[in-house]
Amino acid sequence: MIPQKLVMENFMCYRGPVTLDFRGVRLACLSGDNGHGKSAILDAITWALWGKARARDDELIHLGLQEMRVELEFLLGHNRYRVIRMRSKAGRGRSELQFQVWDPKRSTFHPLTGSSITKTQARINSLLRMDYETFINSAFLLQGRANEFTTKQPAERKRILGEILGLELYDRLEQRAKDKIRAKENEEATLNGHLERIEAELRKEPEYTAQFQEAKQWVEEVQEQLKVAEGEYERVVE
């Protein structure tokens, strides 16, 4: 993921729309006094992508205001994407998340937003192939929490490393192989059932042969009786 543009509106110390254009920037260093908004830029990126930062949503809104908005454009692969996340604390509070991809043919962004924030977030996570926890334990270290990864439980460290290394692909392949094996085993069981029934019928061959011979003999006897009856009938008629 390569950030292209970040727009912050009423986010933390940034009041009003503030745009940062990262295009053409290959390496950047943020410097300045404490409280001048350096970390807020990074918080804005994580909040736009995952809805998470160092504070709760309503605490991220600029002091004295009711709503905030962060827009992030980034490149991934051969596509350009845009995520727009908004939060209002007016009334009961309201959140909104939009996910879009650039359509070069129409020169506009095409919506990828799901039917809910949860589904939209799942699409973003799937595209990035990581969630917030993976991000802050790999590409981005939170201020004062550089040991975040080492303090986690072994199972959580394993999960994070798996996402970083893309091991979930092998998990999916393993599950797919297990599903195919299970399907083949079911198919084999069905075929074995058919085979057992066929073998059972074949074992009855002597019985069927005997019944056939009896039936054949009975037919021959009936035919002989029929001939006798026909002869008697002809004599009576004459």
Instruction: Read off the amino acid at residue 218.
Output: W
Q: Which residues of 95-128 are buried (b: 16+ CB within 10 A; e: fewer)?
A: eebbbbebeeeeeebeebbeeeeeebbeebbebb
pLDDT-derived band at 156 (thresholds 50, 70, 90) equals: confident
Q: What class is the 2-128 domain?
A: alpha beta
Q: Per-residue pLDDT averaged across 31-56, rounded? A: 88
Percent of the chain having pLDDT more than 90?
57
pLDDT per residue as tens digits for the range 97-148: 999 999 999 999 999 999 999 999 999 999 998 888 878 776 665 555 545 6
Query: Which one of 71-75, 130-134, 156-160, 182-186 scores highest in mean pLDDT?
Result: 71-75
pLDDT-based confidence at residue 46 (cuts at 50, 70, 90)? very high
Rounded to two decimals, the pTM is 0.62
Mean of pLDDT over the chain: 88
pLDDT level of residue 39 (50, 70, 90 thresholds): confident
Residue 163: pLDDT band by 50, 70, 90 thresholds? low
Cross-strand bridge partners of residue 68: 87
pLDDT of residue 139: 62
pLDDT band, residue 30 (cuts 50/70/90): confident
Tokens representing residue 145 in the block: 């929490």
Residue 62 predicted with pLDDT over 70: yes
Across the range 191-209, mean pLDDT stands at 91
Indicate the pLDDT class of residue 95, thresholds 50, 70 and 90. Answer: very high
State the sign of the Cα–Cα–Cα–Cα dihedral 38, 40, 46, 48: negative
Question: Any idea which of 33-42, 93-102, 199-208 has the lowest mean pLDDT?
Answer: 33-42
Distance CA 56, CA 68 (A): 13
pLDDT, greater one: 154 or 43: 43
pLDDT score for 165: 63
Supply the pLDDT for residue 28.
81
Give the separation between CA 129 and CA 163, rounded to whole angstroms: 7
Q: Where are the domains of the chain?
A: 2-128, 205-238
Q: What does the chain come to in residues?
A: 238
Residue 63 predicted with pLDDT over 80: yes
